[in-house]
Structure 1
Amino acid sequence: MTELSITLKPVYSRTVSNPLGVTLPDGWSLSWHQAETFNALSDPSLDVVFNTAMTGDGKSLAAYLRAMTDTTYTLAMYPTNELARDQERQVQNYKTTFNPKYDPQIYRLTGATLEDFVETRQLPSKQQGIIDRADNSEILLTNPDIFHYIHDFRYLRRDSKKVSRGDNADKLFRKIDDNYKLFIFDEFHVFSSPQIASVLNALLLIKHTSTPRKFLFLSATPSELLQDFLSRAGLRYQIIDPGNQGAYRFAASDELGWRQISQPITLTFPDNLEPNVRSSYDWMIENAESVILKFFLDHSSSKGAVILNSIAAVYKLLAKLQPLFFQHGLTVLSNTSLTGERERARSIFDADLLIGTSTIDVGVDFRINFLIFEAADGGNFIQRFGRLGRHAGFPVYQAYALIPNYLVARLFTEKDGKSASLQDGQECDRVALHDLIRESWLFINQFEGYPKRWGTIQSFSSWNELQSPRMKEIYPDAAEGFKADTEAAFEFSMRQKHGQVYHCIKEKQHAILDEARSFRGSSQLDCAIYDVTNHNDPERDRFKTYNLPGLLSNFVFDLMGKDEFLGNVKKAGLPIKRFQEALCYLVLKDYREVRENWHFYHAGNVGELARLGKVQILKGLEVTAGENAISKALYHRSMVCYISDRRRDDLRAKLGLPMQFQAYGLSDDSNDRSPPYTIAFGQSALLLETLIWHWKPKEDEGWIC
């Protein structure tokens, strides 16, 4: 094994006196950024606050300090269920410690818990479930998806023939916006331009239909795109950046007023990893005993995590490491989107070594001193590396960054007469390392054109709702104010968008409009699965959903009939609604050692479909792997998609597509080993069209449908 290592210096955060009116528990003090955040959220001249404090410096306390010291009803949003679960524990601890007089009730609401709540309480709708939780939760932890759908009028009861007979458009969003004074968006940097557009639309709807509210974004790297939109829309914001204000040090000092927030870490880069999906896995198998297990045997009481990009790699590695560690009385557990609820909660506390994917790399507070991680881009590297060094009490802290050899070379090799950015054995501070990682990584597309082209579909929808007589009676100036702000922010014409939307409706392209109004995209390719790979899972936790491409590539499965599957779901006491629209129903049996090679197939003239150069709704797709019944189910389903006449690898390289971007090979020949076309589905189709619509002839420009 050849490798290069650096040592990360410890990090110290400056502490300050308490803001006026704030009383802390004995022995507590505030970091500079926490006090500044509290003051900014009290400033009537500000609408939005960004906190960019370093991982481990207490951004959560900065977010909840007002709720703990004042009667501030708070709605907090987290991008993953695991992070929401972690933060629920944290907020409960704050409540116990601060003991606020108004005794805030804390509740965590996800899509699954909402469905369960509605069914167990026998409520008539999800709308009633949300209202019930809002009425009984002074602090509500949820996800930005639910926030989006509330402000996109999705939970309302509507008469399709006569809207006036249904709920008023503000029935639910006004309830939420009137109830909560502070809205927190945690780890918002993990989202891209579709979610940025969605959140801005919601913020502007609140601005014009409610009294002033505060919005707090917690992110180490605040989106410049969002900042631009806020400025153009007239929303006033402040960035609280302790790094730029001298609030961090990287050496111990006798001077009072500094608190250590990160431990010294040895960061090692294996320098021989090829840029392919197999290389990292092979490295871990080769070093399972000599590096991974050895660390735990040399340093008793150690805790560790492995964070990978591929869910299949997690389970293959789990099968290798579990028996190896078990021989020494050590526990290895997994935590992925396929992990059951009980096993997921257990894994955080019981595992000596936890192996997971993106479900654990966003914000979850692990007490670990050993970390191995892959990274999809520079921001992802910083995010995952930030899991380590947050807690004192271990004798040594070790990380291995499994990134491609060409990236390691950029960091450690001289080029064009310039000295290398890093030297083997060098000491470095975190801020400098973060800057080098961002500079060295390849360009990743941020899809800046998406909000104007597709995010404004939601803008039009909201404006159209505000135009109704019932809404104008309650909010007489809201429609014009919202129109002016969204047009300024996104630099588009509502009048032109009106024409585009109604053209889509006329052409029966409603599914494309629905896709544009979704938050993370629809689940067109999701399959319902019954997972028998983990014998410890209780029956309820075996029922899951997962996307077809991932299943075909990485898993061994059998078919199950829809009626049988839904019957089993009902017997397990689960709501069947979340599984009713699945593409197909499968029994997940095992994980493939070798990734399956397959592609999408269409018997029609794919070249002609690609020449359309626009998002379309397509039937007749099949896949070249799996049971015929899967292709049959896919064949009859109408799919929102975009087809390009460029190969997938060429598009990825030319456009800087993110690693997880859902683009797949497509051919009109089922035996084609190198499909000449690329197909993207759902929101990915809209994103891809945004990037390459101008590649088509000029006479094809115009309507988005």
Structure 2
Amino acid sequence: MPYWSKAMSYGHNFRTQTKTMSDYSITLKPVYSRTVPIPIGINLPDEWSLSWHQSETFNALSDPQIDVVFNTAMTGDGKSLAAYLQSMTGKTYTLAMYPTNELARDQERQVQDYKGKFQPKYDPQIFRLTGATLEDFVETNQLSSKQQGIVNLTDNSEILLTNPDIFHYIHQFRYLRSDSNNTRWGDNADKVFRKVDDLYKLFVFDEFHVFSSPQIASVFNAMLLMKHTGYKGKFLFLSATPSELLQGFLSRSGFKHREINPVTEGAYCFTQADEKCWRQISQPIALVFPNDLQPNARSGYDWIVENAESIILKFFLDYPDSKGAIILNSIAAVYKLLGKLQPLFKQHNLTVLPNTSLTGESERARSIIDADLLIGTSTIDVGVDFKINFLVFEASSAANFIQRFGRLGRHQGFPIYRAYALIPNFLISRLFEDKNEKAASLADGDEYDRVFFNNAIRDSWLFVNQFEGYSKRWGSVQSFYVWNELRKKQMQAAYPDAAKNFETDIFNALQVSVRSRYGEINRCLEAKQHKIIDEARSFRGSSQLDCAIYDTTNSNEPERDRFKTYNLPGLLSNFIFEVMDNDEFRLKAEKAGISFTRRYKDALCCLQLRDYREMRENWHFYHAGNVSELARIGKVQILRGLEVTTGENAISNALCQRGIVCYISDRRRDELRAKLGLPMQFQAYGLSDRPDDRDPPYTIAFGQSALLLETLTWHWKPKEDEGWIC
């Protein structure tokens, strides 16, 4: 019996044995990717072949008529090789950007493996650059600044793996030397970005679909700056769901782009195929939808606890040498489950390890390799390639569902592949039950190909707002600063037409005049609201509510890895902690070799993490002033005097003294989420002028979320139907 048929028979067994009467289950067919003859000029390692999309991406990046390439191949189909093929077979210096440090670390291993197999003659040096590694590099080499660190690293790294945050700040002129007392002294605006852009001929953005409008606007502004200052290289976006918003901006500003789409070109099939022309990229998968999960934050956690032994552990006992992952939305749920699953699995010599933003560097690296069962959050759902045949996952959107489900079935060698999708029962109903004369997308027990299934997930999911208006309202603040730098004498001498052409392209793409932003930005600065401008110029938003953490929950964690940061709302809801004196925290950090000033100088307060709450704490933000008047302002503002209704007084005292960039709405949080389709992780919280209020009538959003919310609600009238204050 063929390998894939054997797995199918296991899938049938599974449906009859491990699902309840109320659950639904389907089988996903295997996926095969079409291979093609090797293009002229490419030498592959022995027994290697290229998929259609890899060959087409190579050709598109070699085409002088194309500026930007979008590769939309399925997860597991080798988009990484498509990105690095030119650097492995030629001499294309490449800067690749990844949304998470975990993915960058995973890809560093992958690229080193490519280098070992391809043996490129020019021996490219590979370096992974993050904010932390840059600081360490500067300190270790006793350099004068981060600017010098970036210059040194680019001089010595033919392949640089980093994050789009650093790319953004380079092209927003953040690594320049200046003197506020002498405006004539300082670096030219192009000192750093010109160095980087001249060296790297290919800029790669991986998993870019995880980003929202602020990041899309940021990358577009940077690309436009590069276009008008002489960049001659290429841009490659790797994403199963490319951004229509970005593609629209590119088209309207003169970028020539091409989409490489294997689905529309018939480059996938879903039945056993000729191995000479087709390569299997995904195994058949048995997928179960438990149908009794209520739409609340705890239901997935409760299901896992209830089925820890009867379903999860049983799978590992039935199929020895299996590897699995649980991917959840809540970081607190991960650590609470860890305490329940580790002792259960340890009885059978099986290892359960965490991988979250709170997991230390050493344990995070170990977890990918050593865990029989890995429990994590978004740190592992974005592109990380680990070999598993069992998956339990929550999802916050259709794209998130497809992304997480895509972690499974990528590697051969297991007898069975099984997944449990922990999504609310009303979504299950949309998928499996007829509604208003519309036939159900899926039927219990049936078999589907991956393309049909992904479309069914997208069609059945709730609307999630894409914040299309952000780029015009706030993304244009970044545009103004780029244009303003291009207007300066030194820049005009080097790039005579850049300011004018940049201004024209911004107007065509965003439908906004950068000149019109001057007055608004100036008024904001004169009113000492520069924090709002800083927020608009950031990439992912500032960390206004981040706290310095000393984590004592894991006794095996190295001392250096115990020092972390985490946001205050998440801490208040899910963790047990106590306030630490700043000096005590600083001494501990410096003893562990960590600079407090460099890493924690902007922290709201210092906390020692003790444990995780079994039940979420019910709390809200509180302000003693007239919140109704604050809500009627209808704009992003800087607010002082904010407190919280739980935790120690020291936390509220620290919060009260800080000016926070926020937006206040006179609608309740649940109403806003439902009406506006706000993403699950959107930073919006209940607000009241009474500390004992059980149902806060106002909503407050912070930082970048405040800017996003304002773009959706600025035109609303207050509920009292009073005149709108602009």
Q: TM-score, normalised by structure 1?
A: 0.99
* Partner residue, 2:17: none
Could you tell me how far 1:503 is from its partner in structure 2?
Answer: 1.5
> Deviation per CA, 1:456-487, whole angstroms, max 9, x where unpaired?
00000010011111111111111111111111
What is the alpha-carbon distance in structure 1 between the residues aligned to residue 161 and residue 705 of structure 2? 28
Letter in 2 for 1:557: F
* Partner residue, 1:476: 496
Could you tell me how far 1:254 is from its partner in structure 2?
Answer: 3.6
SS state at 2:482 partner: helix
1:649 to 670, 681, 685: 670
1:203 to 198, 202, 223: 223
What is the alpha-carbon distance in structure 2 between the residues aligned to residue 162 and residue 381 of structure 1? 53
* Partner residue, 2:124: 104
* Partner residue, 1:520: 540
Greater mean alpha carbon deviation, residues 127-136 or residues 248-257: 248-257
Q: Does 1:30 align with 2:81?
A: no
Could you tell me how far 1:701 is from its partner in structure 2?
Answer: 6.9
Greater mean alpha carbon deviation, residues 454-463 or residues 557-566: 557-566
Letter in 1 for 2:716: W
Q: Does 1:622 align with 2:643?
A: yes
8 Å contact 1:334–1:354 — kept in the other structure? yes
Could you tell me how far 1:410 is from its partner in structure 2?
Answer: 0.6
Letter in 2 for 1:613: G
What is the alpha-carbon distance in structure 1 between the residues aligned to residue 64 and residue 390 of structure 2? 44
8 Å contact 1:410–1:440 — kept in the other structure? yes
What is the alpha-carbon distance in structure 2 between the residues aligned to residue 212 and residue 103 of structure 1? 23
Could you tell me how far 1:568 is from its partner in structure 2?
Answer: 1.5
1:610 to 613, 618, 631: 631
Q: 1:510 to 1:223 in 2, by over 3 A?
A: same
> Deviation per CA, 1:324-371, whole angstroms, max 9, x where unpaired?
000000000000000000000000000000000000000000100000
> Deviation per CA, 1:663-685, whole angstroms, max 9, x where unpaired?
00000000001000000000000
* Partner residue, 1:63: 83
CA RMSD of aligned residues (A): 1.0
2:161 to 113, 138, 141: 141
8 Å contact 2:32–2:273 — kept in the other structure? no
Could you tell me how far 1:575 is from its partner in structure 2?
Answer: 2.5
Listed as ranges, the gaps of 5+ residues in structure 1 are: none
Letter in 2 for 1:439: D
* Partner residue, 1:384: 404
* Partner residue, 2:477: 457
> Deviation per CA, 1:390-438, whole angstroms, max 9, x where unpaired?
0000000000000000000111101223332111110000000100000
Q: Does 1:584 align with 2:628?
A: no
Q: Does 1:113 align with 2:133?
A: yes
1:688 to 702, 709, 712: 709
* Partner residue, 2:690: 669
What is the alpha-carbon distance in structure 2 between the residues aligned to residue 116 and residue 169 of structure 1? 25
8 Å contact 2:633–2:725 — kept in the other structure? no
* Partner residue, 2:287: 267
Could you tell me how far 1:159 is from its partner in structure 2?
Answer: 1.1
SS state at 1:165 partner: coil
* Partner residue, 1:409: 429
* Partner residue, 1:548: 568
Could you tell me how far 1:563 is from its partner in structure 2?
Answer: 1.4
> Deviation per CA, 1:66-87, whole angstroms, max 9, x where unpaired?
0000000000000000000000
What is the alpha-carbon distance in structure 2 between the residues aligned to residue 98 and residue 555 of structure 1? 48
8 Å contact 2:388–2:409 — kept in the other structure? yes
* Partner residue, 2:580: 560
Greater mean alpha carbon deviation, residues 195-204 or residues 573-582: 573-582
Letter in 2 for 1:385: F
Could you tell me how far 1:3 is from its partner in structure 2?
Answer: 1.1
8 Å contact 1:174–1:210 — kept in the other structure? no
Could you tell me how far 1:508 is from its partner in structure 2?
Answer: 1.5
Letter in 2 for 1:425: G
What is the alpha-carbon distance in structure 1 between the residues aligned to residue 377 and residue 310 of structure 2? 24
What is the alpha-carbon distance in structure 1 between the residues aligned to residue 103 and residue 469 of structure 2? 30
SS state at 1:673 partner: coil
Q: 1:16 to 1:519 in 2, by over 3 A?
A: same
8 Å contact 1:667–1:676 — kept in the other structure? yes
8 Å contact 2:632–2:725 — kept in the other structure? no
8 Å contact 2:480–2:515 — kept in the other structure? no
Greater mean alpha carbon deviation, residues 235-244 or residues 488-497: 488-497
Could you tell me how far 1:167 is from its partner in structure 2?
Answer: 1.1
What is the alpha-carbon distance in structure 1 between the residues aligned to residue 225 and residue 586 of structure 2? 39
Could you tell me how far 1:216 is from its partner in structure 2?
Answer: 0.2
What is the alpha-carbon distance in structure 2 between the residues aligned to residue 336 and residue 130 of structure 1? 28
SS state at 1:399 partner: strand
1:216 to 229, 233, 236: 236
Greater mean alpha carbon deviation, residues 106-115 or residues 563-572: 563-572
Aligned length: 702
2:616 to 576, 595, 601: 595
What is the alpha-carbon distance in structure 2 between the residues aligned to residue 488 and residue 136 of structure 1? 38
* Partner residue, 1:639: 660
What is the alpha-carbon distance in structure 2 between the residues aligned to residue 662 and residue 18 of structure 1? 48
Q: Does 1:19 align with 2:39?
A: yes
Letter in 2 for 1:121: N
Could you tell me how far 1:94 is from its partner in structure 2?
Answer: 0.1
> Deviation per CA, 1:243-297, whole angstroms, max 9, x where unpaired?
0000000001347311111000000000010000111111000100000000000
8 Å contact 2:24–2:445 — kept in the other structure? yes
* Partner residue, 2:700: 679
8 Å contact 2:203–2:235 — kept in the other structure? yes
> Deviation per CA, 1:71-124, whole angstroms, max 9, x where unpaired?
000000000000000000000000000000000000000111111111122211
8 Å contact 1:115–1:575 — kept in the other structure? no
1:533 to 553, 568, 578: 553
* Partner residue, 2:300: 280
Could you tell me how far 1:155 is from its partner in structure 2?
Answer: 1.1
Letter in 2 for 1:671: D
8 Å contact 1:369–1:397 — kept in the other structure? yes
Greater mean alpha carbon deviation, residues 27-36 or residues 210-219: 210-219
Could you tell me how far 1:7 is from its partner in structure 2?
Answer: 0.3
Q: 1:533 to 1:218 in 2, by over 3 A?
A: same
8 Å contact 1:116–1:574 — kept in the other structure? no
What are the within-5 Å matches in structure 2 for residues 156-305 of structure 1?
A: 156-254=176-274, 256-305=276-325
SS state at 1:695 partner: coil
2:393 to 361, 373, 378: 373
8 Å contact 1:314–1:355 — kept in the other structure? yes
What is the alpha-carbon distance in structure 1 between the residues aligned to residue 684 and residue 439 of structure 2? 38
What are the within-5 Å matches in structure 2 for residues 500-515 of structure 1?
A: 500-515=520-535
Letter in 2 for 1:464: N
Letter in 1 for 2:448: C
* Partner residue, 1:309: 329
* Partner residue, 1:660: 681
8 Å contact 1:566–1:580 — kept in the other structure? no
Letter in 2 for 1:111: G
What is the alpha-carbon distance in structure 1 between the residues aligned to residue 131 and residue 558 of structure 2? 20
* Partner residue, 1:437: 457
Could you tell me how far 1:700 is from its partner in structure 2?
Answer: 5.0
Runs of 4 or more consecutive aligned structure 1 residues displaced over 4 Å after TM superposition:
697-702
What is the alpha-carbon distance in structure 2 between the residues aligned to residue 595 and residue 215 of structure 1? 44
Equivalent pairs: percent with the same residue? 73
Q: TM-score, normalised by structure 2?
A: 0.96
Listed as ranges, the gaps of 5+ residues in structure 2 are: 1-19
Could you tell me how far 1:165 is from its partner in structure 2?
Answer: 0.2
8 Å contact 1:119–1:575 — kept in the other structure? no
Letter in 2 for 1:169: A
Letter in 1 for 2:676: L
8 Å contact 2:506–2:513 — kept in the other structure? no
